[in-house]
Structure 1
Amino acid sequence: MISNHPPYKTIFFILCFFLTLSSCSDNSEGENPVLPGQISWKTASSVTADAGSATLSISGTTGVKWTAEITAGASWCSFVSNDFTGSGQTVHGEVKDGLNILYLYYAANTDSEERTAAISFTFDGETEPHILSLKQVAAGQSVLPDFEGGYAETPAHKQDANYIYVTHYVKLDNRNVRNYSLCFDKTKKAALWVAYPLHKAYTSGDAGRVEDWNFDPSFESSFQPELFRSYKNSNNNSYDRGHQIPSADRQATDEMNRQTFYFSNMTPQLGQLNQKMWGKLEAKVRTYNCEDTLYVVTGAYFANTSTTTYDGAGNLVPVPTNYFKVLLRTKSGKTGKYVSDCTASELKAIGFWVDQKSYGNVEPPRSICTSVADIEQKTGFTFFPTIPDAVKQDYNPTDWNIN
């Protein structure tokens, strides 16, 4: 992982810069009123559990004075590198010509819970401060990128105390690459969506099914179903440990495939669905691979929680009423561009809405096809937020080889 620390010479320059600014007079009597400035995160507002620094970008009229204060999290955040004693809690400055940045340093988080710091930033002439927050994830948990500049397949975040957001990474060709991201609902003991890119780089290989069933190490096992053994039969129904990101979509390395066997990726899925039509749908999705990337979000929907079953340890868990997939790719498959840089005419998308029932051993029918916008309305999630709405409102099953 690339360090967030600036070079030591840069740190020395910034510290001297702050000391110089702190000695400047705040006397502005007789001056014209100063317009307020703007402050925002130049880098992400969510950071890893490792120690590092985040960057704030300051803009405004040259000469406007400002004050930044850490109002929450001063025990692990500071405006002075490696000083978490509280002496680096406040800093003063003024807007200069050119680039204006401020580093916020943070210590490593060794706890099992995420934590949040708050920064109050005030420009002279303003009556209300700007409040920014910095979230540091728990030890061992990965950061789900902020949406701006984030991954094309990652749905927009929804704030909910019961949601846990996780991104899993793997080594591929000596590089750290994302495997998949998920939004886990503690009350459902299941992921509401799992988002992932699909490309031959992920599917080419002979990893096979490692069958290494295990808890997701990114968050507490008490929130997850225990699935070393499969779900117990309930109400004369036989439920499989149904993958949301399929094992067959991750064949490049054993590590990549192993992560698909985390319990956070499982839901109780009827065997007559999982092993037949749903399995054929998963296989068909893999045929949509292209030189550009195919983006996939698979999810479970709970219209109600009245149907339940038991996990391998005998704990009661709700059963999804529906499953869905939403897909996005370029029409030609070989533009060489990010989807966020494509026009609506260059993109195509489709959704699949599936009932928790047996469809028989059939190919995916047209009846399950719908628009991404329709599934957004059904689930309340916003998918592929960087693309034009027109792409999400349109779909053509024939374009996806659905007869």
Structure 2
Amino acid sequence: MKKIFYYLFFIPAICMTFMACGDDDDNIILGDEWADFVAQYPNDGPLEIPALKEGNIFISHSTKLTDGSDFETYCLEYDPSMNHSRWVAFRFDNRTSSGDAGYHGVWYDDPSLPETNQVGSGYFMGYSRGHLCASADRQYSKEANMQTFYMTNMSPMLSSFNEGIWVKLEGKVRSYLNNTSFLDTLYVVKGGIINPDQITEYTYSSKGYAVAVPQKFFMALLRVKGGVYKSIGFLLEHRYYTDDEYDLKNYAVSIDQLEAETGIDFFHNLNDVFEGDTEKSFTLSDWGL
């Protein structure tokens, strides 16, 4: 199941063109109707979803859990000018933190994007296809795991980075999941910074599309336990890391710092009473660092 939300302001003729790209399962919401979507969520809204940037495309992929309920695999904001997602966001809770669905490593163009935005799944020239929502993060169902191989969930990464410190940080995040004394829910936002002055170059996809290569990658984490919120961010240069550079605490930053670096407003649906204090600082020991 997938949902597409175009957070754009088009003239009606162009809106109709984009609406024709979706299938019968797609829900396309324009402009102010986004607020109606957010209102469907209980409490503070979809906490994992940052504030959207006008002109980009919001996509949500979901699957059904064993109890028959829908659960969001991940969502993303896609920047068609960069042929790259601005961020990918998802959450873990006791329904999704385990499983052994296996790895279904076949890359696909994201069927939720119009065909004209599909870059091709064959390769990024000179770079690996690096997961944002990791395959290992979605092991509770085969379908969810397959969705992690959509190209909207990929970023051009140096192999040494993708298979090195990025994997280490992803593993650290997953280490939190089965500790019930640590959290009830973990909200995760990941990506490469694709602001025009923060890319290394453009590489080319297998269909010849120019795809932005980020200079830096980030993760923003918000954990909730018993109504108490704690957050931390990580900011990594996109490069090779030596063995003595793998201490993750050296790359920890506050969410406020991460917002200043990326231009992304993380966890903006968090109640204002909590947001300010939660995002301005972090404690390493709270995160096992």
**Could you say which TM-score interval applies, normalised by the shorter chain?**
0.7 to 0.9
Change (3 A) 1:47 1:323: closer
**Is residue 155 of structure 1 aligned with residue 37 of structure 2?**
no
- Residue number in structure 1 paired with 2:116: 222
1:307 aligns to what SS in structure 2? Answer: strand
Identify the residue that residue 25 of structure 2 maps to in structure 1. Answer: none
CA contact (8 A) 2:200 2:214 kept: no
Equivalent residues, number:
260
SS of the aligned residue for 2:101 comes to coil
> Does the Cα contact within 8 Å between 1:324 and 1:351 map onto a contact in 2?
yes
In structure 1, give the amino acid aligned to 2:88.
V
2:235 pairs with 1:353: yes
In the TM superposition, residue 205 of structure 1 has moved relative to its aligned partner by 1.6
Task: Choose from 218, 222, 225 the match for 1:328.
Answer: 222
Secondary structure of 2:38's aligned partner: coil
> How far is 1:200 from its partner?
4.4
Q: Does 1:377 align with 2:260?
A: yes
3-state SS in 1 of match to 2:78:
strand
1:34-113 matches, cutoff 5 A: 111-112=20-21
The reply to whether residue 319 of structure 1 matches residue 213 of structure 2 is yes
1:168 corresponding residue in structure 2:
61
How many Å apart are 1:157 and its aligned residue?
2.3
For residues 314-353 of structure 1, the C-alpha deviation after alignment (integer angstroms, 9 at most, x for no partner) is 33322111110010113xx4x2xxxxxx3xxx22110000
Q: Structure 2: which amino acid aligns with 1:401?
A: G
1:186 aligns with 2:86: no
Once the two structures are TM-superposed, the CA of residue 356 in structure 1 deviates from its matched residue by 0.7
Q: CA deviation at 1:225?
A: 2.5
Q: 1:394 aligns with which of 278, 281, 285?
A: 281
The counterpart of 2:246, out of the listed 363, 374, 379, is 363
Percent of aligned pairs sharing the same letter: 33
Q: 1:364 to 1:164 in 2, by over 3 A?
A: farther
Whose RCO is larger (CA < 8 A, sep 6+)? 2
d(CA) in 2 for partners of 1:260, 1:177: 14
Determine helix, strand or coil for the equivalent of 1:242.
strand
Query: Quick one: structure 1 residues 355 and 255, their matched pair in 2 at CA, closer, same or farther if it must change by over 3 Å?
Result: same
Amino acid at match of 1:294: L
Q: Report the TM-score, using the length of structure 2 for normalisation.
A: 0.80
Provide the secondary structure at the position in 2 that maps to 1:201: coil
1:393–1:146 Cα change, 3 Å:
same
- Aligned position for 1:299: 191
| Distance in 2 (alpha carbons) for counterparts of 1:115 and 1:348 | 32
1:38 is aligned to: none
Q: Indicate if the aligned counterparts of 2:4 and 2:58 stay in contact, CA closer than 8 A.
A: no
SS at match of 1:231: coil
- Unmatched runs of 5 consecutive residues or more in structure 1: 2-45, 49-71, 74-108, 118-132, 136-142, 234-238, 336-341
Q: Which of 190, 202, 211 in structure 2 is aligned with 1:308?
A: 202
Distance in 1 separating the partners of 2:239 and 2:4 = 41
Output the aligned Cα RMSD. Answer: 2.9
Which one has a bigger Cα radius of gyration?
1
